[in-house]
Chains A and B, each alone.
Chain A
Amino acid sequence: MGLIQRAIEEAGIPTLSISLNRTITEKVKPPRAVLVGYPLGHPLGRPCDKKTQKSLLQESLTLLRDIRVPGTLVDASDRYRFNGTLIPPV
């Protein structure tokens, strides 16, 4: 995914990606990324957890606006972390 991101950035459009693995992201070096603590297949977290999904999307847009150093990988807050269950909160 980082390679696609780099192509879009090279075309002149600012980009930010959600990362699920630090090692891969550090190798590919996308312009801006936010590392979440979710397992593969869950970049936005749990299914049907609209509140968290929307919050992460909003935070991603804020990071896209604020990151000023090329290649920055930001750790997302603990709110976006696998806590032992992928069952959505009631």
Chain B
Amino acid sequence: MSIKTEKDKLIAILFEKHPVLVDQWAKSAPIIVNITVPWSPVTGNPAEGPVALVTTAGVHLKSQTPFDMEDPEGDPSFRVIPSTSFTTDLTITHNYYDHGDADVDVNVVFPIERLDELCAEGTVGRVAPRHFSFMGHIQGGQLTRLIGQTAPTVAAELKKDGVRAVLLTPA
């Protein structure tokens, strides 16, 4: 394990145990401050679907290339998670939060099974064919790539799937 990985994981554990540290970091961190808010009005009941999940928890199929943990500006690429995936097909690559509990139950960060259950019960009409996953902690030039390329690409793919509601989960 590299020194960077060890340092990142230690900070992640501290942030999980002490939320006040997250807040102190957030107040001074170079986070983009937006003034305006984009808005798409809801028509009908969005739970009728298709409903898709988008997470920044670093979830991906075991068969997919892991997110890059060595670039200090993060990895703005995304992974397509077919909604038919089993949780046993999934893993997490993300050193900037402690995913010990999410490794036990991925629904803690990516509620793929809970969404299927709501669909089976009739609360959700249809689940989208594809969910999407990023890793958080994107900075600098990679943030530009996220905003200009990969996030709009995922938005276009969701449109192609006819998605009518997206729930997003951080980590």
Contacts and interface: CB of A to CB of B under 8 A. Distances in A.
Interface residues of A, number: 51
Contact of A61 (B34, B47, B105, B170): B47
B16 A41 contact: yes
A19 B123 CA distance: 23
Contact of B39 (A7, A9, A41, A44): A9
- The secondary-structure label for the interface of chain B is mixed
Nearest to B94: A41
A17 B151 CA distance: 15
A61 B51 contact: yes
Contacts of A6: 34, 37-38
A70 B34 CA distance: 13
Given A6-B38, A8-B155, A19-B170, A13 B163 contact: yes
A28 B107 contact: no
B90 interface: no
- The secondary-structure label for the interface of chain A is mixed
Give the size category of B's interface with A.
Answer: 35 or more
A8 B165 CA distance: 10
Contact of A39 (B17, B99, B111, B114): B17
Nearest to B92: A41
Nearest to B36: A29
B34 A28 contact: yes
Interface string A1-31: 1011111111111111111111110011111
Interface string B139-171: 000010011000110111011000111111111
Interface of B: 12, 15-17, 19, 22-23, 26-27, 29, 31-42, 45-47, 51, 54, 56-57, 97-102, 104-105, 107-109, 111, 114-115, 117-118, 123-124, 134, 136, 143, 146-147, 151-152, 154-156, 158-159, 163-171
